[in-house]
Homo-oligomer: A and B are copies of this chain.
Amino acid sequence: MKNLIVGQSGGPTAVINSSLFGVIKESMKQEEHVGRVYGMIHGIEGFLKDQYMDLGKELTPEQLQCLRTTPGAFLGSCRYKLPEDLSDPVYPKLFEKFNALNIGYFFYIGGNDSMDTVSKLSRYAESHGESTRIIGIPKTIDNDLILTDHTPGFGSAAKYVAASVAEIGIDASVYEAKSVTIIEIMGRHAGWLTAASVLARKFKEDNPVLIYLPEVPFDLDQFLKDLERSFQKRNNLIVCVSEGIHDKDGTFICEYAGEAGVDTFGHKMLTGCGKYLENYIKSHMKVKVRSVELNVNQRCSTFSQSLTDAKEAALAGSFGVCAALNGATGKMVSFVRQEGPGYDLSCDLVDVNEVCNKEKAVPLEWIVDGCDISDEFVAYALPLIQGHPVIPMKDGLPNYTYRR
């Protein structure tokens, strides 16, 4: 009987540990087919340094239960890119370690870059006669993976964004004086999470009045006109912008303000388009202006976890285990929304090579006049934020499972 190993990679989400829970729980259920359940510490990068743990032995039932509502990545994460060249010595080194632990199944819970790892390892395994089955479990708050209706992690982040934007809107509306509050939301190239701010709107002309996604070029002159038009309808304006909004030449608005760094994958590291717009408005309009960067809480808030998202994340994990046991490899678990009046979701498998290094943008037809979001998006996103999990509490705060 083969053993199983699971790792987490990329940025954490509120429910990436729900997927881990799903993998562990399903493996326990399949005890006749799965031996030990190992966890890589800090993903592939840590595993190459022999960092792993025996999840079946080291987690108490209570810890396993609390894992469901623990944000972050319990196993630790990494941003480690495998070389393009499959003849690189890191590949045989990795499989040597897999074989030493008698690993038959490897699950990598992650986003775009993690699916790249799944793709490379499964291609290497196929061409070198390695039998380890390799499956990707999707997770990303960005919702930018293709060939899946949505990604685990998006629903909870969307719920955080919608709830926070509603609350900031309420907070900003207590004074009569004209004001603009810019809310900067995560999303480098895809505006899904920023679009979710529209869910905060309770009636026509409610906040957020303006929503800008990176899918459409941003223009400062048009922005001022949009604000002036909005002030004719209400005094307190909430404006939601993706961190990655850029002008028609592709220059990020945050770059107007100064320099931008580059992360280990070569992505531009963005901060501050909200701050830049705050200062821009201050110098062009006589109104009170504030900017709020929702920041990392978007991806790690327990209190605003969506029960639907948490359940689907666990489902993706358990479905992946079953698929691997049935012989699948080189696949990513995907979500398929069934046609019909209600919300009905099921899992499927897609070729991971088709998924990795591609990004799914918000359809342009869901973006209205460059500054608003259509009802089609609301119909798409609303089911994903439903339900509130029971959060195990201790001393007034969520009781998390820590790895120490």
Contact = CB atoms under 8 A, between A and B. Distances in A.
B397 A77 contact: no
Contacts of A76: 173-176
Nearest to A272: B275
Contacts of A353: none
Contacts of A295: 292-293
Contacts of A297: 164, 167-168, 292, 297
B396 A306 contact: yes
B175 A78 contact: yes
Given A72-B174, A296-B292, A166 B386 contact: no
A24 interface: no
A166 B397 contact: yes
A195 to B, nearest CB: 15
A382 B396 CA distance: 8
Contacts of A302: 163, 167
Contact of A300 (B8, B159, B167, B306): B167
Contacts of A303: 163, 301, 303-304
Nearest to A199: B397
A34 interface: no
A162 interface: yes
A248 interface: no
Contact of A296 (B163, B171, B203): B171
A395 interface: yes
A267 interface: no
A170 interface: yes
A386 B77 CA distance: 32
Contacts of A280: none
A145 interface: no
A174 to B, nearest CB: 4
Contacts of A163: 302-303, 397-398
Nearest to A399: B202
B402 A42 contact: no
A72 B171 contact: yes
A393 interface: yes
Contacts of A296: 167-168, 171-172, 290, 292
A387 B382 contact: no
A331 interface: no
A400 interface: yes
B300 A168 contact: yes
B79 A202 contact: no
Interface string A358-394: 0000000000000000000000001001111001010
A161 B174 CA distance: 22
A11 to B, nearest CB: 8
Given A166-B397, A306-B396, A395-B382, A46 B176 contact: yes
B396 A159 contact: yes
Contacts of A78: 175-176
Interface in A291-330: 292-293, 295-297, 299-304, 306
Chain B CB within 10 A, most for which of A78, A170, A393: A170
B299 A176 contact: no
B164 A70 contact: no
A227 interface: no
Contacts of A292: 293, 295-297
10 contacts: A12-B174, A42-B176, A45-B176, A77-B174, A77-B175, A167-B297, A172-B296, A293-B295, A303-B304, A385-B396
